[in-house]
Amino acid sequence: MCCVHRLKPQHKGATHLMIDKFQRIAISIRFLLLPSMLVGSICLVSMAIILISARSDGFERFLTPSLLGLVWAAITYSFIDTFRTIPEKAEKPQRLIGKIKHRISRGWYWFIAVVFLGTTVAALVFTGRLISVWLKAA
């Protein structure tokens, strides 16, 4: 019984520790918000030019780096924008409805954090495969 009480607060804190850590990271790299928008815009425009021109000038070799730049710029921007402000932990006692709203709000950010981790892993795999194909074609 005493072990259950000892583990309970650690588990509860560990659940929200991830989103608090993500918030600290997002705040510390928020200076990358504008550069990620700029890189994403440049990559999107270059992709559009390559696809629209459709001539065989050899510019299609720049399609893969443009796509990867766009993906990572979008991931960086969305991470910073999503996690720079999250609801604070409830410190004072609230009514039942207030507690439920607060837990749902923080739970939503936790869910987004898990989805974001999965998306990052998928982007890493995607990047590795695209770079290997791109290097073989070059």
Tens digit of pLDDT at every position of the chain (138 positions): 444 333 333 445 555 688 889 999 999 999 999 999 999 999 999 999 988 887 666 777 888 999 999 999 999 999 999 999 887 776 666 787 878 888 888 889 899 999 999 999 999 999 999 999 989 887
Question: SS3 string of the chain?
Answer: CHHHHHHHHHHHHHHHHHHHHHHHHHHHCHHHHHHHHHHHHHHHHHHHHHHHHCCCCCHHHHHHHHHHHHHHHHHHHHHHHHHCCCCCCCCCCCCHHHHHHHHHHHHHHHHHHHHHHHHHHHHHHHHHHHHHHHHHHC
What pTM value is reported for the model?
0.78
Please state the domain count of the chain: 1
Identify the domain containing residue 10 by its residue range: 2-137
